[in-house]
Amino acid sequence: MKQKTGQILGFIVGVALAIGLDQWTKYLAVAGLKGKDAYVIWDGVFELQYLENRGAAFGMMQGKQFFFFVVAAVVIIAAAWLLWRMPVSKRYLPLLVCLCLVVAGAIGNMIDRVSLGYVVDFLYFKLIDFPIFNVADCYVTVATAAAAVLIMFSYKEEELAVFARKGGKGRKPEEKTDGEEEQ
């Protein structure tokens, strides 16, 4: 139980640090970019440009704040459930980091929605005219993609069985059920 407590504490600290970085970069964006022309990092490719996003990704669903609160709550509840069921093992550390970043991204943008009524976005890939985004968006996107790759190519089905709801409990990867053979 002591190891599980350490895992949960590490998760909370990781989330807090990631949120801190997100909020700091947004503070810098407001202080340095609001009301100013874009700051060009690489001409024609990448720039910093201030934007107040009242919607979701790509500016969709403008003004649907309640929906975003519900989505963030579902993400946090699902993450808590996954964290609780995740074995304390170095093998699951990459998945734990992904989970940490997804939660940090959801909370980071939620902080903006609650305190400002919009999300501060400032990263713009001009080369492909990609919608302006922020660090929290990067967390969610990169961590979700990494988790998908891990689940598809790194973890075996038996290792993911700990997250299955079989009788309300998963099983540890090393546990065998009736009919399973040693490999």
Return the SS3 of 86: coil
- The secondary element (H helix, E strand) that includes residue 48 is strand 46-53
Label residue 113 exposed, middle or buried (CB < 10 Å: 0-12, 13-18, 19+): middle
Nearest to 123 by CA among 34, 19, 29, 23: 29
Angle at which helix 2-33 crosses helix 135-149, to 10 degrees, equals 140
11 beta partners = none
Catalytic residues: 121, 137
- Round to whole Å and give the CA distance between 151 and 123: 29
Residue type, position 168, single letter: G
* Phi, psi for residue 117 in degrees, rounded to 5: 90, 5
- Round to whole Å and give the CA distance between 120 and 69: 17
